[in-house]
Amino acid sequence: MSDSQQTDPAADPVPAPLPRWWSRPADPVGPHEASVPPPRAEPPAEGDPVTAPAPAPAPVPQWWSRPAQPLAAHGGSVPPPRSVPDGNADTDTARDADAEPRYDPWGARPLQAVDQGRAGSRRVRLRQGILLALGIALLAGGIGGYAGVLAERQAGTRLELPQAARTDRGRAPDSVAGIAAAALPGVVTLHVNGAESSSTGTGFVLDGQGHILTNNHVVNGARTMTVTFSTGESVPAELVGGDTGYDLAVVKVDGVRGLRPLALGNSENVEVGDPVVAIGAPFDLSNTVTAGIISATGRPITAGGDKGDGSDVSYVDALQTDAPINPGNSGGPLLDARAQVIGINSAIRGGDGKDSSGQQRGSIGLGFAIPVNQGKRVAEELMRTGRATHPVIGVTVDMEYSGDGARVGERGEGGKPAVTAGGPGARAGIRPGDVITKVDGVRVHGGDELVIKIRAHRPGDRLALTVRREGRERTLDVVLGSANGS
């Protein structure tokens, strides 16, 4: 033992050979064997000499060194292996200075923990990356959706549909619009307050002095009244005069400038089928314009009669029209294609009965207007004297007669003669009991129609009356007389 264990102190120290379990394997280990240290060498058997090795620098553990080639399990992510110290102090010191901190092989955590930590961090980073991508996608989607809604709203506000360009608002003078534009400034709406009720009607301007023509039944019994023009201006008005038999009245406004009188036409020129325009305030809807045609001329109608004694009955040889006329149109103008007044809207044939408010039902296409020729004459008399005159033939008509034609009565009112002595009828040769069948060749079927046909003329006009007497007909010439109206 002595000569095998002693060393020469002067000789260079020879490093002791590394233990077998400390050495590096000849070939690279697999992915699961790299982290397990090689087995320890068997201790020497009894009796074998034990040689104490000379002191030498501690070798680096094999499990601390890195394999010559990258481990397959980590795909080249492990740094190249560190070499084993060779006992050279200079090189070993340099190597130790560059070396990473050594790992304690006897620590609680195994070496595999390093690799597992790296894999876990990769999974964390992958999970974080996915969540970040989802968050970005959701944020981008939200921003894009909001921007889309905003763009849609903005696009909606800027939406423009095709539209015709604005043109000249002028209309042909003979069109409904042209007629209305010419006439409306001269049409007014009347609001009348009476002792027992109030009413609404229509009228139109006759002259620059403020005279306005309307229906008598609109202003009859009025205590106060106001006139409203198409501009919306309202002024008080006063009654000049009215006539029940013609259902016409004239009112007047003062202090109004710029009045637009309507032109008066000639009702003798009207033919069936002519286009017409009616203006009024049906149910207080001012400046309402309707259009239609002349349905008939010379239509005998009576209106009123609420008093029962006949004193309030109006007799009109009317123009019939299908232009809608309703309560409130009364007194308004009926205009021809030249915007000239040819009639004064006065009556309608409405539906049977009255509505829930007690008013007459609306138009069914049967409207009647007083011919403007008759209206002009009556208006002139009312403006001059406040009263109108009626043409008469000086006979009393039997209203109870049911036969065809108008029969002259046997007795007049109060026992007076049925044929006024010295009157127009007596001078023409009319006798009590005669039946008048025609006026100027136009057949009449009753007493009302005879009165209507006579009142369609002026006092002093000459008429040809066809009379049936004792079964024979004869023609008599009559010059109409005059009587004061009511």
Residue 448 contacts residue 315 (beta carbons within 8 Å): yes
The per-residue b/e assignment along 99-129, b for 16 or more CB within 10 angstroms, e otherwise, is eeeeeeeeeeeeeeeebeeeeeeeeeeeeee
Helix (H) or strand (E) holding 224: strand 222-228
- What DSSP line would sit under 247-310, residue for residue? TEEEEE--S--S--PPPB--GGG--TT-EEEEEE-GGG-TTEEEEEEEEEEEEEEEE--TTSSS
Question: Catalytic residue at 199?
Answer: no
Residues 6 or more apart whose Cβ sits within 8 Å of residue 112: 35
Catalytic pick among 199, 295, 330, 363: 330
Cα(91)–Cα(75) distance, rounded to whole angstroms? 31
Catalytic pick among 247, 312, 317, 322: 247
Catalytic pick among 217, 243, 286, 434: 217
From the CA atom positions of the chain, what is the Rg in Å?
Answer: 62
Q: Is the dihedral of CA 59, 63, 69, 74 positive or negative?
A: negative
Q: Quick count: other Cβ atoms within 10 Å of Cβ 225? A: 22
* Phi, psi (rounded to 5 degrees) for 192: -115, 130
Cα(396)–Cα(409) distance, rounded to whole angstroms? 6
Residues in the chain: 486
Cα(454)–Cα(300) distance, rounded to whole angstroms? 11
Helix (H) or strand (E) holding 82: none
Report the candidate in 363, 217, 351 with the shortest Cα–Cα distance to residue 295.
Answer: 363
Question: Catalytic residue at 330?
Answer: yes
First to last CA, the chain: 174
Cα(171)–Cα(174) distance, rounded to whole angstroms? 8
Own/partner long-range contacts of 24-27 (Cβ < 8 Å, ≥24 apart): 24/62, 24/65, 24/67, 24/84, 25/62
Cα(335)–Cα(323) distance, rounded to whole angstroms? 11
Q: Is the dihedral of CA 143, 145, 150, 154 positive or negative?
A: positive
Question: Catalytic residue at 217?
Answer: yes
- C-alpha angle 203-242-257 in degrees, rounded to nearest 5: 40
Residue 417 buriedness (CB in 10 A; 0-12 / 13-18 / 19+): middle
Q: Which residues are catalytic, by number?
A: 217, 247, 330
